[in-house]
Structure 1
Amino acid sequence: MPRNPASPLQRGMWINELAGSGTAYQMPLAITFEGPLDVPALLAACTAVLDRHELLGAAFQEDDGELLIVRADIPPTVAHGPEQPPDFDVRWGPLARFTLTETGPDRHRLLFVAHHLVFDGMSKDILVRDLAALYAGRPVAAAAPPYGEVIQAERERVEEALPAAETFWKARWRDQFEVFTPGGETTASRRPGPGASVAALSGLPDPGDLGVTTFEHVLTALHALLHRYGAREPIISVDLSTRGPETAETVGLLVNELPVVARPEPGGTFRELAHQVRDELRAVYGFREVPLARALGGLSPRGSLTPVSVSYRRRGPDPDFPGLTADVDWAMFNGGARGALHLQAVEGPGTLDAWLRYDPRVLTGEDAALIAADLRAVLGQPPDTPVSELVLPSSGAHTSQARPTEPAAVAAAAPPEIVEGVTRIWCDVLRLKHVGPHEDLFDLGGHSMSIINIIARIDKQYGVELPMDVFFDNPTVEGVAEAVAQASIHSGA
């Protein structure tokens, strides 16, 4: 595998991982088999799948300020035995693993887990389809182009679209961390962490004559809820696939998270809001390959672009493993949360299943269940109902107060000489003549690799290694200088 530059989305995910994200970026998939399984054939098929898709054998390393995709020192594994928590290491590997476990007579479970750096939702369809074909001895699709070529072609398209994308997003984007729920307003955490889950939808809602897709119908319902909870102009980030015909067979991270803003009109109906959301989503889709941070800059690290997000995927057909019944858990929960609230939906032939994944540091389980009930209720009401008159089960329920995140402890001011030294480091790394003590690193054009370089320079000058989360909490010269001063005291440096 040649060394290739990582994509902007991979850089952002990598910095979150180094800061500590738990299981938030793990992508699990489980297949339960019933029948006389040919264990050696299935294990051989697993190995062939890993060999076939090069990115599953990758790791990510920084070299002179650039994040590179490299061949992992520790390759992905295929195991036969009890399931174990993944031991992923983004720098050295592995970032993918198969585990086959016997769960009863003629009953087995195959668990696949990959890091989101090398895998996305559409990759699940490719992996399961290839696995079934290789197990059965059927021919597989032609190999995908090398991932480096895919990223390079995407990078060229992004550069071409940047001017128009910058104009588009300047008129729409506003950064926010407020979350509106049945329990009130609270503030989301920027950091990924442990999560929880409640079932939200089971079965396809009927859009009737709305003139929108099922995805647009569901997205409108969530916007309507946030507006009813108190958000004047609700904003929800959505995962949009960046795949084209040339990447239809590529296993990798080919998705971009972008915001969709709704502006409900006073007295407006659900139908009118649905058309507005449809039109906005389709306008956003025109810039689906351009990361928001690339178009605007100044975005601080965060697990999710906005506190509330949606991923919606239409999966392929059920796999055919000869002589076996195979049940695929397409949306297996990873136990983590990247934002305050995430709706994960998978549409299959005639079915739709969706779950609300939420951050218990921000929302209560009671409020998450009420949001799920409200979502189901809104999807079942007449489309010409004014948004302000939609009947919500939560309006008659006793709700707990949403949980605000713990404020960071206030550190003592750093000595002037440390502030001065950190300022010089920032000026050198960012190539600026002047940086004020309260200016935000990301407003100054900093990014994930800037953080890596600043940490390395601070370690060299002060003998302390700062954790990544310092740049989540207070990404200013003063905030970093305070962290250096505290670390120096604790280390005796």
Structure 2
Amino acid sequence: MPHSLPPHASPFQRGIWVTERLGGHHGVFHMPVLLSFDRVDADALARAVSTVTARHPVLSQVFVERGGSLVAEPGTAPVLDVVDASEDCAQSREKRLAEDAARPLDLQAGPLARFTLYRGRGEAAELLAVVHHAVFDGESKDVLVADLATAYEQALGGPAQAADQSPFTPPSTPPAPLDPDPDLVRRAADRYGPRWAAATEPVLPGLPHAVTAPASGACETWRTDARGRAAVAEAAERCGVTVFEFLLAALHALLLRYGGEAVPVSVPLSVRTPEQAGEIGLFVNELPVHAPAGVGTGTSFAEYARAVRAEARGGYPFRPVPFGAAVGGLTPRAGLAPVSFGYRRARAVDPVFPGSTVRVDRTVFNGAARNTLHLQAVDTADGLAFSLQYAPAVLSPDAADRVAGHYTALLEAATATPEAPLNALPVLGAEERYLVTDGWNATARSYPRERTVLDLVRERAAETPDAPAVSAGAARLTYRALVARTEELAAVLRGAGVGRGDVVALHLERSADLPAVLLAVHAAGAAYLPLDPGHPAERLAFVLADSGAALLVADREPAPDVVAAAPAVLRLGSARAEPGSAPAPTPPGGLAYVLYTSGSTGRPKGVEIGHRALVNLLTSFAERLGSGPGDVWLGLTSLSFDISGLEILLPLVTGGRLVLAPEGAALDAPGTVGLVRREGVTHLQATPAGWRVLLSAGPLPAGLTGIVGGEALPLPLARELRGSLGRLINGYGPTEATIYATCADVPAGPEAVVIGGPVANTRAYVLDADGRPLPIGIPGELHLAGDGVADGYRGRPELTAERFVEDPFVGTGGRMYRTGDLAAWTPDGELEFHGRIDDQVKIRGHRIELGEIEAALLDHPAVAAAAVAVCGQAEGDPALVGYRVAAPGGEPPSDADLRDHLLRTLPAVMVPRQFVALDRLPLTASGKLDRRALPAPPRTAAAGPVEADEVTAGVLAIWEEVLGASGIGPEDDLFDLGGHSLTIIQITARIRAAFGVELDFDLFFDASTPAALAAVVRERR
């Protein structure tokens, strides 16, 4: 006999109903089953469908909200629809099945099941059954197919019988679904609450942020044969886990190898009782299986699988508890977590439909993605069938294909050697590994390895001695004069005792003598050490002492502390060359310069750059830019910032002209732009902050080639610059890799900003914490190798050994530098910059890159400059603070406007809690953002009593009644208070009764506080 319907929807059904009411579900809750017949009696099948739907009234029910409760009521029974598809080709068939699987099933109007028989050529036919998840689950598919087979066999013998005369064993009436025991909910909260708070988003190829929202989907499918399935089962047994746990452990291991720290994988768990084994319905609950805590990549896979097993089984007692009831702050969603895993063991033998050979496909894709990534595994006697379902809007098909390949590679290796450590299990296939280690690093080029910059400048002077070389104010030097002044100063240095291997510190103004002094140091066989006269005397004194400089060269009087730290001071104005001093040959393999950078511990460290590295960089960029004698470069950057080496030396080794900008020019936009116009500058380099200053002065000269370096280039600035310049180069490189290690030409109308590929004779590797290559699209620490790598840190052997390590991807003797920067390869073989590893922050369990928020702020048309910092870490309540500089000529943006703007592209957790308006951002002497100089945000005054109007007071009262709590404030968040699907239904019903206003469920995302909800009610009354 048929069931009676339970009077109220279960908590799981309420969650689905609310989520679907939010819209945009794209058929994500549709569950298709396809039966392919070689021949079928359509009339008998129609009677079988009627018999089965009569036995399982859930297939005919609808869900209706009444008085704040969701009830199940009888609806229209589904019937078999027969369609002629005999003319369909294979492509038409696929399209037809996809459209049918996605066609809406209305929870309120019904029916919630659809049966369509597509007649093919001859006697062949396909039955597509599509049932809504609100009344159906994976096990229900088997029940439906078995009952259809039984009913079909009976129907072949005559007309359909009444339900109480059906061929089925009378089922037990399922109990009415009840909310779980409060004590069980409390214990579930104790288990899951801390785990969920510590959870992090998964790291997936090319995916900035994971999502749980439904979307149109796609899938990748593959399978193993029976032998492969047997090997997995044997390996699982060796590990002491089930096949399900083994496959889940492989997925968790892959997410860990991708860089996920504490990623949960949600899994549907059965809540069927033995009495419900033969029933159709929703008898599953989705709960997260969290990554095992404290288990690193050095752990064996077998041990890791057992840890995953323990984590999974620890949650089994809480199967009846809806996750939203155990964990507060959880908004309704189609997918509980961004990554989910489903496993089902198929029946050994499919039911028999008399007179037909039938193939049952229980894995038909419904065309929707419930979250970022869902891996489905079906365990059959013939093998393991896998389906990787994803949203192409957030994860590209190529990336999904690579994920499937990575999972397969790791699973096969774990199956073969489960005792191997996780970090030894291969993830990359041979082709992808070749690309990220060799293919995109094929940068070998010839260059004058045995020459120095001085040699190259002398050659230019010999070719064109009277060509202009340097301009600085009214001073002009030809190449002949530049070399002569270089030799004169070199003689002075040699007379002062400077020789090969020495370091000469330079404390110089921006005069025409500056490039001559650099070259003179090389001519004396020494390396130069730039000192910025604008830096504090204490820092300069430390650098002098730490470097062991043999001499300080100054063209103005240094501070007393600086003089005291120098072993000797040579003042250029009074220096005279000693006659007869012989020039010292400059070895190409020797040291060219030492540049001090800030240390993470606060102690500056000196980076030693060799001549060969410098020549390689200059010749590489000369070729890339086509730089030659007709070009004019502006020397704008402080000598203590390594990118100054490009703009000073590149024009001199290519026969061009260097125009030295005066002190303070970087902040004088009109003066600098005027200088560019007067001198006919063709190449200009600046940091992003410096370019913003220049753009503030109005249009730049047409045809200018711009180089951006020193900091990440935000996309809005890249678009603005590219529209103003003839060509734009985005360069990346730490001081330890000689100015620039990678570069990219920014295209017109860029959609993204990359740092490009490695320059000539440079290799780039993106590696995980174990030094293994990461897949395309997965961020990891960028390592740089090749001829541009520095010799090391001056006088710091321990630090040198820590940061400059062996390159395992080339022959012996190769070295690579660990940058501390995060980067990822694009599918096109370019590098994306993801910020500093130590700049990443964690807010409420989410790993956040501050630069991404800054880039989103800069995309607001009323924001000219932006920065983001974290405050409150010491108090244990870290919060993001946004700093913004308003664009000139318009209204400054309000905080609410900025929040709305950011929420269009960023998760709410990435939106700053406070915004601080500044006239300008603080910059370092090198023109970079000085985060440490950002002012502390003003303390927000404690909120006083809110004058609640009638509507707000009424909404507050409704919230307190529904949530069973008192003292709720107007700005309290519904989901933080433990709100879930039922509370949304109840609040909506009570507001309808009290105010006559119908609220859409999606309002609760944008108006999740009583004050915000009251404002909507007032507007609609």
What interval of TM-score do these two structures reach, taking the shorter chain for normalisation?
0.7 to 0.9
Shift of the alpha carbon at 1:115? 0.5
Residue identity in the other structure for 2:51 = A
Match for 1:130 among 121, 127, 147?
147
What is the alpha-carbon distance in structure 2 between the residues aligned to residue 168 and residue 285 of structure 1?
Answer: 11
Is 1:50 the counterpart of 2:76 in the alignment?
A: no
Q: In structure 2, what is the equivalent of residue 107 of structure 1?
A: 124
Q: In structure 1, what is the equivalent of residue 399 of structure 2?
A: 367
Shift of the alpha carbon at 1:243? 1.5
Counterpart secondary structure, 1:391: coil
Is 1:193 the counterpart of 2:215 in the alignment?
A: yes
Counterpart secondary structure, 1:136: helix
Match for 2:317 among 277, 282, 286?
286
What are the equivalent positions in structure 2 for 1:340-379 lying under 5 Å apart?
Answer: 340-379=372-411
Match for 2:188 among 136, 152, 165?
165
Q: In structure 2, what is the equivalent of residue 214 of structure 1?
A: 243
Give the length in aligned residue pairs: 476
Shift of the alpha carbon at 1:421? 2.9
Residue identity in the other structure for 2:197 = R
What is the alpha-carbon distance in structure 2 between the residues aligned to residue 165 and residue 442 of structure 1?
Answer: 17
Contact 1:196 1:336 in 2 (8 A): yes
RMSD of aligned alpha carbons: 3.0
Is 1:442 the counterpart of 2:957 in the alignment?
A: no
Structure 2 alignment gaps of length 5 or more? 85-95, 156-165, 433-773, 777-824, 835-851, 857-900, 906-945
Counterpart secondary structure, 1:90: coil
TM-score normalised by length of structure 1: 0.87
Shift of the alpha carbon at 1:482? 6.3
Match for 2:955 among 419, 425, 439?
425
Shift of the alpha carbon at 1:87? 4.3
1:400-450 CA-partner distances (Å, limit 9, x unpaired): 58999995449xxxxx99987346314323324443344220222322233
Q: In structure 2, what is the equivalent of residue 383 of structure 1?
A: 418
Shift of the alpha carbon at 1:299? 2.1
Is 1:8 the counterpart of 2:11 in the alignment?
A: yes
Shift of the alpha carbon at 1:98? 0.8
Shift of the alpha carbon at 1:219? 0.4
Residue identity in the other structure for 1:30 = L
Q: Identify which range, 123-132 or 389-398, moves more after superposition.
A: 389-398
What is the alpha-carbon distance in structure 1 between the residues aligned to residue 990 and residue 322 of structure 2?
Answer: 28
What is the alpha-carbon distance in structure 2 between the residues aligned to residue 2 and residue 211 of structure 1?
Answer: 42
What is the alpha-carbon distance in structure 1 between the residues aligned to residue 122 and residue 993 of structure 2?
Answer: 59
Contact 1:77 1:94 in 2 (8 A): no
Using a 3 Å threshold, how does the CA distance of structure 1 residues 166 and 326 change in structure 2: closer, same or farther? same
1:59-99 CA-partner distances (Å, limit 9, x unpaired): 11111111111112x33232122675644221121101111
Match for 1:23 among 13, 27, 31?
27
What is the alpha-carbon distance in structure 2 between the residues aligned to residue 176 and residue 365 of structure 1?
Answer: 27
Using a 3 Å threshold, how does the CA distance of structure 1 residues 212 and 328 change in structure 2: closer, same or farther? same
Counterpart secondary structure, 2:114: strand
Larger Rg: 2
Shift of the alpha carbon at 1:319? 2.3
Shift of the alpha carbon at 1:266? 4.9
Shift of the alpha carbon at 1:171? 4.3
Contact 1:184 1:229 in 2 (8 A): no
Using a 3 Å threshold, how does the CA distance of structure 1 residues 373 and 407 change in structure 2: closer, same or farther? farther
Match for 1:145 among 169, 172, 183?
172
Shift of the alpha carbon at 1:457? 5.3
1:329-379 CA-partner distances (Å, limit 9, x unpaired): 111111112111111221122421111111233222222111111110011
Is 1:304 the counterpart of 2:335 in the alignment?
A: yes
Q: In structure 2, what is the equivalent of residue 261 of structure 1?
A: 290
Q: In structure 1, what is the equivalent of residue 355 of structure 2?
A: 323
1:222-249 CA-partner distances (Å, limit 9, x unpaired): 1011111121122101011112311111
Counterpart secondary structure, 2:269: strand
Contact 1:76 1:94 in 2 (8 A): yes
Contact 2:1007 2:1013 in 1 (8 A): yes
Q: In structure 2, what is the equivalent of residue 413 of structure 1?
A: none
Counterpart secondary structure, 2:318: coil
Residue identity in the other structure for 1:24 = V
Structure 1 alignment gaps of length 5 or more? 411-415
Shift of the alpha carbon at 1:165? 2.7
Using a 3 Å threshold, how does the CA distance of structure 1 residues 161 and 484 change in structure 2: closer, same or farther? closer
What are the equivalent positions in structure 2 for 1:226-237 lying under 5 Å apart?
Answer: 226-237=255-266
TM-score normalised by length of structure 2: 0.44
Using a 3 Å threshold, how does the CA distance of structure 1 residues 460 and 233 change in structure 2: closer, same or farther? same
Using a 3 Å threshold, how does the CA distance of structure 1 residues 460 and 430 change in structure 2: closer, same or farther? same
Q: In structure 1, what is the equivalent of residue 573 of structure 2?
A: none
What is the alpha-carbon distance in structure 2 between the residues aligned to residue 225 and residue 473 of structure 1?
Answer: 35
Residue identity in the other structure for 2:132 = H
What is the alpha-carbon distance in structure 1 between the residues aligned to residue 1013 and residue 398 of structure 2?
Answer: 38
What is the alpha-carbon distance in structure 2 between the residues aligned to residue 466 and residue 396 of structure 1?
Answer: 46
Shift of the alpha carbon at 1:175? 7.4
Q: Identify which range, 84-93 or 136-145, moves more after superposition.
A: 136-145
What is the alpha-carbon distance in structure 1 between the residues aligned to residue 240 and residue 6 of structure 2?
Answer: 46
Shift of the alpha carbon at 1:185? 4.2
Using a 3 Å threshold, how does the CA distance of structure 1 residues 376 and 423 change in structure 2: closer, same or farther? farther
Using a 3 Å threshold, how does the CA distance of structure 1 residues 314 and 2 change in structure 2: closer, same or farther? closer
Q: In structure 1, what is the equivalent of residue 864 of structure 2?
A: none
Using a 3 Å threshold, how does the CA distance of structure 1 residues 175 and 54 change in structure 2: closer, same or farther? farther
1:184-241 CA-partner distances (Å, limit 9, x unpaired): 54131x4322111112543454232222221111101110111111211221010111
What is the alpha-carbon distance in structure 2 between the residues aligned to residue 289 and residue 358 of structure 1?
Answer: 28
What is the alpha-carbon distance in structure 2 between the residues aligned to residue 175 and residue 442 of structure 1?
Answer: 18
What is the alpha-carbon distance in structure 2 between the residues aligned to residue 76 and residue 40 of structure 1?
Answer: 15
Using a 3 Å threshold, how does the CA distance of structure 1 residues 350 and 418 change in structure 2: closer, same or farther? farther
What is the alpha-carbon distance in structure 2 between the residues aligned to residue 464 and residue 64 of structure 1?
Answer: 14
Identical aligned residues as a percent: 38
Match for 2:79 among 72, 77, 96?
77
Q: In structure 1, what is the equivalent of residue 68 of structure 2?
A: 65
Q: Identify which range, 90-99 or 197-206, moves more after superposition.
A: 197-206
Match for 2:270 among 236, 241, 249?
241
Match for 1:94 among 103, 108, 111?
111
Using a 3 Å threshold, how does the CA distance of structure 1 residues 480 and 196 change in structure 2: closer, same or farther? farther
